[in-house]
Amino acid sequence: MANQITVGERLPNVRLRRLEDGRLEDYFLHDLTAGKKLLLVGFPGAYTPNCDGRHLPSFVANADHIQTQGVDQIVGIAVNDPWVMQRWEAETQAKGKVLLLSDGNADLTRQLGLLFDGQELGMGQRCQRFFLIADNGIVRKINVDRGMAYACTRSEDVLQVLI
């Protein structure tokens, strides 16, 4: 397993996917970060209790405030397929606030060193709950909750860092 990415390192150029108008679209991380300040949020799984009930809704509710603090785009990833991510985006009203992308094979999660084993919970390999802020692809801040914890990766925690 890869070491966890640290402040000062460049994000890997990984392909993420999204279902748009019935077609799979590719998003490459370097394109999303080129010349921009990006907030990348990792969710252990769409529709899991904390992700669905608190974590994603906090980013949807605070998206405008986060963007007024200089963030160009908020991107959320989970180790779920693009069809699940599309449905989750629609049901949480995230569209236009948080761009939800599929890391279905955990390629980005693995390269960030943020994979966790959720097999005990019947979830398989998943993404740690995290947020990172990157300027032009360089990590400037990263917070990670281990396992299924929800303590330092809320949108309110992001705002504390940005202000």
pLDDT digits (tens, 9 = 90+) for 52-94: 999 999 999 999 999 999 999 999 999 999 999 999 999 999 9
**Catalytic site residue from 51, 60, 106, 142:** 51
| Beta-strand relationship, 99-102 and 73-78 | parallel
Which pLDDT belongs to residue 122? 62
Spell out, as residue ranges, where the chain has pLDDT lower than 70: 1, 119, 122-124, 147
The domain locations on the chain are: 15-162
Q: CA 156, CA 62: separation in Å to the nearest integer?
A: 8
Residue 51 appears among annotated catalytic residues: yes
Indicate the helix (H) or strand (E) that contains 130: strand 129-135
- Tell the CATH topology of 15-162: Glutaredoxin (3.40.30)
Cα dihedral value 130, 114, 110, 127, nearest 10: -60
pLDDT for the residue 124? 64
Host H or E run for residue 66: helix 56-68
- Please write the tens of the pLDDT for every residue from 61-72: 999 999 999 999
Q: Which pLDDT value is given to residue 116?
A: 85
